[in-house]
């Protein structure tokens, strides 16, 4: 008796099996890239730091408050959220050298030269009852204002948008227009 040939395994169904697996992974996969707004919290203040905080000149602070009914106050007056961006832009650029708006200090920026950097700080205060959505909406407007200022600066000096610049140039722009948003302590909110 000679060797019997083993019959070939029918492989036409492997494609079906693979398709099935493929569909499973297609369904469960989340290409999800995490997106969000990055922030740096201030370190927990020590005693001597508190004194330093009070020294900040009044004209250099823009207080943005959101109360428990999600009403927005910027610089002491009620405001619609759509106007906040322009207010912040005006505050940070101070185009008319208004004595009530923040001063600008000549600073040496490495690789760029002298540039009057605004000393303005935006202080964001909220109530415990503020909804997270309103808070994020305000944060978003603040970031948008700063992003637009950075875009303007990049366009005037490098002829490109901020995102299209290389890393060194981006750092220059970041130095020229810092993102100065301070998130207030909840203690201050309670006092209000």
Give contact residues for another protein (rule: CB under 8 A): 11-12, 14-15, 18-19, 21-22, 25-26, 28-31, 33-44, 126-133, 135-137, 139-140, 143-144, 147, 183, 185-186
Shortest Å distance, C-beta 114 to another protein:
29
Q: Using the minimum distance from each CB to another protein, give the nearer residue, 43 or 95.
A: 43
Q: Using the minimum distance from each CB to another protein, give the nearer residue, 78 or 186.
A: 186
Length of the chain: 192
Burial 110-149 (b: 16+ CB within 10 A, else e): eebeebebbbbbbbbbbbeebeeebbeebbebbbebbbbb
Name the nearest CA neighbour of 124 among 138, 106, 108, 103. 138
Name the nearest CA neighbour of 186 among 122, 127, 121. 127
Spatial contact of 136 and 37, defined as CB atoms under 8 Å apart: yes
Shortest Å distance, C-beta 4 to another protein:
25
How far is residue 119's CA from residue 23's CA, in Å, rounded to a whole number? 56
Shortest Å distance, C-beta 96 to another protein:
27
Q: Using the minimum distance from each CB to another protein, give the nearer residue, 70 or 175.
A: 70
Shortest Å distance, C-beta 140 to another protein:
4
Q: Using the minimum distance from each CB to another protein, give the nearer residue, 101 or 165.
A: 165
Q: Per DSSP, what are the bridge partners of residue 104?
A: 118
Shortest Å distance, C-beta 68 to another protein:
8
Q: Using the minimum distance from each CB to another protein, give the nearer residue, 118 or 125.
A: 125
């Amino acid at each position: 008796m000679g060797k019997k040939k083993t019959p070939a395994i029918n492989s036409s169904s492997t494609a079906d099996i693979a398709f099935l697996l493929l569909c499973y992974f297609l369904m469960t996969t989340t290409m999800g890239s995490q997106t969000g707004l990055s922030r740096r919290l201030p370190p927990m203040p020590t005693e001597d730091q508190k004194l330093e905080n009070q020294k900040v000149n009044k004209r250099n602070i823009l207080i943005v408050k959101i109360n428990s009914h999600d009403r927005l106050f910027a610089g002491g007056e009620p405001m619609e959220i759509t106007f906040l961006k322009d207010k912040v832009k005006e505050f940070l650029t101070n185009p008319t050298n208004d004595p009530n708006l923040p001063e600008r200090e000549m600073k040496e920026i490495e690789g760029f030269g002298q540039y009057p950097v605004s000393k303005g700080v935006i202080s964001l205060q909220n109530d415990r009852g503020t909804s997270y959505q309103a808070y994020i909406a305000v944060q978003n407007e603040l970031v948008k204002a700063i992003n637009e200022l950075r875009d303007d600066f990049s366009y005037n000096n490098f002829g490109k948008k901020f995102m299209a610049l290389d890393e060194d140039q981006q750092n220059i722009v970041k130095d020229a227009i810092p993102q100065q948003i301070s998130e207030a302590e909840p203690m201050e909110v309670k006092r209000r």
